[in-house]
Structure 1
Amino acid sequence: MMIRFSATAAAVALGCYGMATSVHAANDMDSELDAIERIEVHAQRRPQDLHDVSVAVTLIDGEQLQQRQIKDAVELANLVPNFVASQAAAEGTTPAFTLRGVGMFDYNTSTVSPIAIYSDEVVSGGANFMTGQLFDLERVEVLRGPQGTLFGRNTTGGAILLRSRLPEYEFGGYVRASAAEQQSYRIQGAVNAPLTDTTAARFAFNWQDYQYSMNNLFPGASGGGMEQASFRLLVSSEWQQWSVLWRLHSEHWTGQPKPVYSAGVFRNLETGEWCSPAEVGSRHCVDNFGFSVPSDDFWTTSANTQHKRNRTDSWGTSLQLERELSAALSLKSITAYKSFNRFHSWDADGPGQFIEGVLGSDNDFFSQELTLFWQQPERFWTAGLFYLNERLEQNNELDLFRDFRAVPALADVPATFIYHNQLRNEAMAAYAQLEQQLSPDWQLVAGLRLTDEQTRYHANADLDTVAFYLADLWDLGGKVADTELSGKLALLQRLNPRHSLYYSYSRGYKSGGYNAGFSTSPEEAADSSYDPEYLDAWELGSRWRSSDASLLWDLALFYYQYRDQQSFVNISTGTAPYHVLKNAGDGRVLGLESDWRYRPLVATELMLSLGYIPKAKLGEYREGDILVSGTRLPFTPEWTLAASFTHQQQLAGQTLDWQLGVRYQSAIYFDQYEDPYARQQGYALWHGRLGWQATPDLELALWGKNLFNQRYAELKFDSVAALGAYTQLRGEARQLGLEVRYQF
């Protein structure tokens, strides 16, 4: 076990305290605070005023999610500064989140993201559990920056807190139905019912069926689409001094993956002359096999996906128990179990059969957490114990150059690797945080978490060729274990009742593990373990609101130092795809975030969110002839901006609700090399909505996404060695829709 807390951070924090002077008496502070709007967050595991927490938080109202047609956690990136999200290998696979430059892009389901999702306080776990539909939520809180004390397991990047709408003791509910372009249909709703004087239930559901924007010209294939059905049942009760919340949820997905766009790079195949980055994706460029794209239309492709399928089934349950042991002491227990099963077949080469495969997952998860809350006159303690046990079985395939099996001269080239991997992750942690009032204007926050985590793995692969079938090409096992400290030290300063500052140092930690990916040799499989990474984060934050609360302004400045940073590296020198997750030295990230919310009139609101990361450098990784050092972190734009305008007006006794907004991000690289062919230029996506409140219970709305039909890629991947092309997943085209909402 190693302790690496920064003495410099502690000295700076104590120095700031020593220089401070009180500017307001306690009674004046309290009286003015009572007159100011309270914005409640759960960033420290309990409801608090936003001005009382030393964490950068983005709040998103549940109604806002529904009006914006935000369907999953990937689309949350449109609402949060310095947040980028993408599907690693099309929808239905594991998503990739990057927050403030901290993230993990990997196709592999064994990878754990440094950004965790907490659904009603239950941690997401492995990569498979990061997907899910957003519906009937009270709110979402995105905690930006390492959460190394109160939120368990690998949250070096941040945490996304999803809070469901809880049962109420009054019958009611709603139904929303939407139809849009690309054969998109959605129905969602909820029913709330009191069962007894002390027990209530809420049943919520979400169903949607949609097609992607891609037009696939391959014979017998389609542009892909997905049907998703989800439900959630919550039952709350007061029982013998206990508050009980039981949760049951399930999701079922079926569909066909979005077809890829295979963009050849050669202007002249015989001479090997390359097209420019701007030309790649046009019909002027061909791949290794002479294929060019079938059309200059951005959303037209040719991909043999006619037999590709996705089927995902998952369910889970949790039990939350709370009890007040005394007037100052309370206990909370959260027990959770989740099960996940997925079959996803994919195509990465367009019209040929050169790089294809299957992702198969069977995943089980159990967690138990006990938390004690202790309120004292000048301090508040939070302490707890956390346990997690997760099992993953992978049944994957990597099918290489199948088209060559019919060519006698090339029949020894094709190979199919069949993987049977088993991983079991076990984590235990003890944590404590103290919030100590030092004076009427100053508060100290100090937290510590001790985590013991281990991953046991068994990796096995068979090889199928035209000439032979070789069982157990490799069969190996091992364990990766580490015990580490993480935590936080912060000072919160109240300059006046409307303005607070916080000075924070956090230490994040992400455990090591085994990358059970698409290895093609025993040597690659044996070299797939990786060590923990560490992140030291310094942050200065400011929260200010005007005297009438019409203007709110939050500002955060941060500086990160990575050590042994885990990095996904695409080694593109061989003909077979080879991806590794390795520790890449000491990275650096520097940036700021600024959020404004202005309400000049009761019926009008303007919002502006700005993110800026001028420095985001990767550490050094060396593997043979491959050297990566000092390049910009992938999926990390220098600028992000989100702005929106909302206005309500009365017309003939009825309400019109106008909304218009935009989300902009500057250029990003999709890999670690700063490859100009794997670069997405900056782009802006506009959205809008016009709602008509016909009656107090009935609303009709017209909505639109990507209003100006912006062309952009969600992913560009270097497949030049194997295909002479860059494999792309292209973003969705403009979509207009109608929605009806009825409340009862």
Structure 2
Amino acid sequence: MSSTAALAQTAPDASQAPAAAPETPQADAGDTGGMADIVVTAQRRSENLQKVPLAVSAFTAQELDLRQVSRTLDLIAYVPNLIGHNNTALGTANAYTLRGLGNTESIATFDVPVGTYVDDVYLSRQGANNFSFFDVERVEVLRGPQGTLFGRNTTGGAINVVMKKPGEEFKGFAEAGYGRYNRAQLRGSVDIPIIAEKLLTKVSAYFTDGDGYVYNQTTGQRLNGDRSWGVRGAIRGLLSDSVTWDLSSDYTYANGSNLVNFYRDSDKKRIDFTKLRTDKPLGGIVSPDLADNTLGNTARSYSFISNLQVEAGAATINFITGYRHLYQEYVTDSADSRNIASVLYNDYDYISSNPGTTTVLANDSYHQQFTQEIKITGKAFGGVLDYVGGFYYLNEKNRTIFANVNVPLTGSPTVTQDRTVNNGTEAYAGYAQFDLHPIKPLTLTAGIRYTDEFKDIQFAPNPNSLPRSGANNQPFSTIDVTNAGIPVTQRARVWTPRFAINYQIDPDVMLFVSATKGFKSGGWNARANYAALAVPFTRETIWSYEAGIRSEFFNRHLRVNLTGFSYVDRDFQLPAGYLDPVTNTILYLTRNFADLKNYGLEGEINVVPVKGLNIYWSFGIQKARYENLNPAVYAQVARCKAGIIANNCNAGIVTPTGEVAEPVRVPRFSSTLGANYTFHLNDTVSLVPSAAWEYTDGSWVATSADPRGYQNAHSLFNFGLSLRSSALKASLTAECTNCLDKTIKTSFLIYPYLNEPGRWMLRLRKDF
């Protein structure tokens, strides 16, 4: 990525030991003070980014630190056309939208369009994808569909996290930080060689504890705090000159919520009114499995990864095995214990409201996945042909227990749904990509992937004696669903090819064009309030076309990377939730509403005018619209315009006036401009100030263009100042994110959901 050019370093393959990190954020190319090469594995092999015919943004560990990127969600500021936010209620879950393709549904029957990978292992569930970067070598964000080499569920793109491997020397670091809302943060890592050049190990850990920034006006509690910790161990066995075996395991505990809240201008506080408490279980209003749940969100996850690499002549074979288990438990109050019709706010500024119904959503879910991949890379015919190919298998099992209950001010609570959903996925794939160099400056790329995927689902009602919230909202089982004519299995067999041409005009300028197909799996509307609404939605498929330039000028003092794209995403999947005014409950509907068409331009520009000064600018321009609407949407529009208001207007992608809404989270223009400079105070001490300005054009966050769900154009600012001593191997950093404490809307469900407030932190780090 151009914005990381001054920090990136030439590195070996991700499966090899990482190069030593520079002590300052400027990594020079020789003595020129220019930019170094950026090595990525976006095509599943190590390559110079400037030679890769893909739209890729890459960040080294040093750049992540300098830009205050401590978790995956922080990446959104620095990747063109990437919008992200915590999902409603869930501080541990990120909902990404990349080039207009996104997902705000965390239930396991809905897959994400922006896949997350850790050390080449796919992370299928959204519930814990907002993890901390506490021992990362680099992060790559691939924009656009990656259906050939990464596979299913990457129609929008992929986030590829590469963890640091154990080093050959005993060394490490320890870091402590303190910030706003009494936020304490500890991080550390140590490399421990057991047998020199044979058996290497690493242990890393982090801990975060911070008070909530939301002040509950009913209970007096502080909400939306953060308490999390994690530990990771890694082993590298150098079994021979041709065999390397990397093993790693991690465990993370994350307690973080994104409960609905309002901004009160009179005292500049975030407030809410829910009657639910973090220290009081729900009890008998829900089924026994959920009775011990309390307000908030907790995710516990552990994983095992094995990568056995064998060098076989001109080829390299990797046997990549992954297992991940996730347990998530949460409770939220969607109505915030308010009379919804009485809540008044201007934009996001709270004005007044009256007490009302407490709308409880409780959830326990268990997710486990196993993946096995065999990948082979190499060269043939004296380097005329590069190739990468392999076989892939995934088995995923999910069990979700959830309930929706309404607790009014007076009278008996009512239940809308209280059920258990079991669903699974089994997928096989084979893939190959060939890069032919018929003449030195020209590369022709052709790739193909075949995926065979099977999904199934079962429904079972949980025991709950409360009266139902509406006549239709009755408990149902798998038999009721099949009796409604709804299939409970899905099968997809899909070919996803890729074609590209790139031409090296000279050593510093490359042009490329590409065409890529991807697909995202189908699923079911599992949050349905009654059996006939548990409808399936089919897979979505995309053909994306890109053209771009990768260029460097003035002896690597200027880097300009531009990418233009255009795509049509067929059968676009969109989760939508809206209030049913008849029963005062939330209706959830996921459907293939329409096709989504989008085109735009992305730019990443980096300038190093003098040694030590790095100026970067990344921007995205896009224009999206719905076309070829689902017949059900046309019928909904007709009913709305005919005056049938309930559940027809301001629902799905139909606006309050019966028009078709604009796509959500697709700002016409977004941009981040930043800079950092290294002042050398003496031979061993340096001072590094940094700043970044993020601007985002106005866009909708409500699927139906509800006027309350529009976010105006806004700017966010980050600043940092780091004092570093190479002699002491230590640094002291003061930093702030969203420094002006700007409040913006990120999502909409009954009320707007807001971003996190501004934060500051002091960090002291010691390397050894």
Could you tell me the TM-score, scaled by structure 2's length?
Answer: 0.83
The structure 2 residue matched to 1:556, chosen from 535, 540, 563, is 563
1:219 paired residue number: 219
One-letter amino acid of the counterpart of residue 548, structure 1: N
Residue 309 (structure 1) aligned with residue 296 (structure 2)? yes
User: Secondary structure at 2:169's aligned position in 1?
Assistant: coil
**Pairwise CA distance, 1:374:** 3.0
2:408 matched residue in structure 1:
403
Aligned to 1:124: 123
Letter of the 1:530 partner, please give it: F
For residue 764 of structure 2, the aligned residue among 736, 740, 743 is 740
Matched, 1:731 2:755: yes
Residue 95 of structure 1: CA displacement?
2.1
Alpha carbons of structure 1 residues 322 and 450: separation in structure 2 relative to 1, 3 Å: same
Q: What residue number does 2:492 align with? A: 482
Q: Deviations over 1:318-375 (max 9, x none)?
A: 110111122x122111011111111111111223443111121111110000011231
SS at match of 2:476: strand
1:322 equivalenced with 2:323 (yes/no): no
Equivalences for 1:621-700 in 2 at 5 Å?
A: 621=630, 622=632, 625=636, 626=648, 628=654, 631-651=661-681, 654-696=685-727, 697-700=729-732
Return the alpha-carbon distance in structure 2 between the equivalents of residues 151 and 467 of structure 1. 47
Letter in 1 for 2:477: W
Residue 652 to residue 381, structure 1, CA distance change in 2 (3 Å)? closer
Q: CA RMSD in A?
A: 2.2
Report if aligned partners of 1:603, 1:649 keep a CA contact under 8 Å in 2: yes
C-alpha distance in structure 1 between counterparts of 2:302 and 2:580, whole Å:
41
**Match of residue 448 from structure 2:** 448
Question: Which residue is 1:612 aligned to?
Answer: 621
Pick closer, same or farther for the CA change 1:89–1:442 going to 2, 3 Å: same
Report the Cα distance in structure 2 between the residues aligned to 1:52 and 1:605, rounded to whole angstroms.
22
Give the secondary structure class of the aligned counterpart of 2:77: helix
What displacement does 1:123 show? 0.8
CA distance in 2, matches of 1:157, 1:102: 5
Aligned to 2:255: 254
- SS at structure 2 position matched to 1:394: strand
User: Distance between the aligned counterparts of 1:461 and 1:363, measured in 2?
Assistant: 20
CA distance in 2, matches of 1:231, 1:323: 28
Deviation at 1:107, TM superposition (A): 4.0
**1:220-268 C-alpha deviation (Å, 9 max, x unpaired):** 432331210011111111114421000101101235x344136xxxxxx
CA distance in 2, matches of 1:124, 1:100: 21
* Runs of at least 4 residues off by over 6 Å: 468-471
Is residue 450–residue 495 contact of structure 2 (8 Å, CA) maintained in 1?
yes
Deviation, 1:93, is: 5.1
Tell me which residue corresponds to 1:541.
548
TM-fit CA distance, 1:208:
0.6
| Secondary structure in structure 1 of the residue aligned to 2:133 | coil
Distance in 2, Cα, partners of 1:98 & 1:651: 43
Q: CA deviation at 1:493?
A: 0.7
Match status 1:375 vs 2:375: no
Kept in 2: contact 1:51–1:543 (CA 8 A): yes
Structure 2: runs of 5+ lacking an equivalent: 1-33, 279-294, 339-356, 483-487, 637-647
Could you say if the C-alpha distance between residues 161 and 601 of structure 1 is closer, same or farther in structure 2, counting changes exceeding 3 Å? same
Distance in structure 1 (CA, Å) of the matches to 2:188 and 2:325 = 24
Q: Describe the shift of the 1:522–1:542 C-alpha distance in structure 2 as closer, same or farther (beyond 3 A).
A: same
| Equivalent position amino acid for 1:189 in 2 | G
> TM-score, length-normalised on structure 1?
0.85
- The 1:484/1:78 distance shift into structure 2, 3 A limit, reads same
Contact 1:342 1:362 in 2 (8 A): yes
| Aligned residue runs from structure 1 range 489-504, under 5 A | 489-504=499-514
Shift in Å, 1:174: 0.5
Q: Secondary structure at the match of 2:223?
A: coil
Where 2:595 maps in the other structure, the secondary structure is coil
Counterpart of 2:745 in structure 1 is 713
1:567 maps onto 2:574 in alignment: yes
**Structure 2 counterpart of 1:723:** none
Tell whether the 8 Å contact from 2:146 to 2:158 is kept in structure 1 after alignment.
yes
Amino acid at match of 1:580: L
Say whether the 8 Å CA contact 1:298–1:711 is kept in structure 2. no
User: What SS is found at the alignment partner of 2:181?
Assistant: coil
Structure 1 unaligned blocks of 5 or more = 1-34, 263-280, 284-294, 720-726
Structure 2 residue 625 is matched with structure 1 residue 594: no
- For residue 564 of structure 1, what is the amino acid of its counterpart? D
1:389 CA drift (Å): 0.3
Secondary structure in structure 1 of the residue aligned to 2:248 = strand
Name the stretch that deviates more: 615-624 or 169-178. 615-624
Q: CA deviation at 1:147?
A: 0.4
Q: Which residue of 2 aligns with 1:339?
A: 325
Distance 1:115 1:486, change over 3 A: same
Q: 1:448 offset after TM fit, Å?
A: 0.4
State the match for 1:161 in structure 2: 160
Could you tell me how far 1:632 is from its partner in structure 2? 2.3
Alignment of 1:514-529 (within 5 A): 514-517=524-527, 519-525=528-534, 527=535, 529=536
Match of 1:348 in 2: 334
Retained in 1: the 8 A contact 2:421–2:457?
Answer: yes
The one-letter code of the counterpart of 1:684 is: S
CA distance in 1, matches of 2:227, 2:705: 36
Number of equivalences: 662
SS in 2 for 1:565: strand
Q: Residue in 1 aligned with 2:393?
A: 387
The change in CA–CA distance for 1:729 and 1:147 in structure 2 (over 3 A counts) is same
